[in-house]
Amino acid sequence: MTPPTTLVTGNPMKNKILRLNDTLYLTCIWISGLSVIAMSLIIPWGIFARYVLGTGSQWPEPIAIVLMVVFTFFGASAAYRARAHIAVAMVTERLPKPTQRLLASAIDVLMLMVAGFVTLYGAKLCMETWGQTVGQLPWMPVGATYLPVPLGGLTTLIFVMEHIAFGQQGDRAVVTFDHPKVKVEAA
């Protein structure tokens, strides 16, 4: 299924990149959503097993924690692209336009640095801990539990580069498909 997009006429390469990022955005949304659903099923099972069956399962808590990390990093990446993240703009909106543009550029550079840091050092963390196992889940390497960190950092890095190259994408059809369409009429 091809996600709904807003195409730019006359620039096929830009359209391909934006469509690819639309697909990446939807993937992040689905991964995050499925993680929340899985957590919502796993946590009650752990409670049921402990208090009704009288035998506590060891696996629900570590799996739920991993799913929370997945939800957090992929959800944050998607929120960045959709411009649905928390942003305090009270001060910057009162500044002159040239200063606002300068601050926006500085924020883009800082976001590149943070996303690059999370990607690089998250990958190093995964590699360094891959030989260890989770106590309650001896089949799972600790490094696998950290994989959402560099992968979420990488998707954020891609969306930051997209924002720098093509501007903010929060108004794309794939992002706003569930928002009501409001017609503004002249008075």
* pLDDT, averaged across the chain: 88
pLDDT at 58: 85
Confidence class for position 68, pLDDT limits 50, 70, 90: very high
The torsion region of residue 119 among left (phi > 0), alpha (psi -120 to 50) and beta comes to alpha
Q: Domain locations in the chain?
A: 12-176
Report residue 134: phi and psi, to 5°: -75, 130
pTM listed for this prediction: 0.84
Is 70 exceeded by the pLDDT of residue 39? Answer: yes
The residue whose two tokens read 């096929």 is: 12
Query: Ranked by mean pLDDT, which of 6-20, 44-58, 74-88, 141-155 comes out on top?
Result: 141-155
Q: How confident is the model at residue 86 (pLDDT cuts 50, 70, 90)?
A: confident
Q: Phi/psi at 141 (nearest 5 deg)? A: -70, 145
Asked whether residue 1 carries a pLDDT value surpassing 50, the answer given is: no
Q: What is the pLDDT of residues 116-164, one digit of tens each?
A: 999 999 999 999 999 999 888 889 999 999 999 999 999 999 999 999 9
Mean pLDDT to the nearest integer, 43-66: 89
Q: How far apart are CA 173 and CA 5, in angstroms?
A: 5
Whether residue 22 is predicted with pLDDT greater than 70 in this model: the reply is: yes
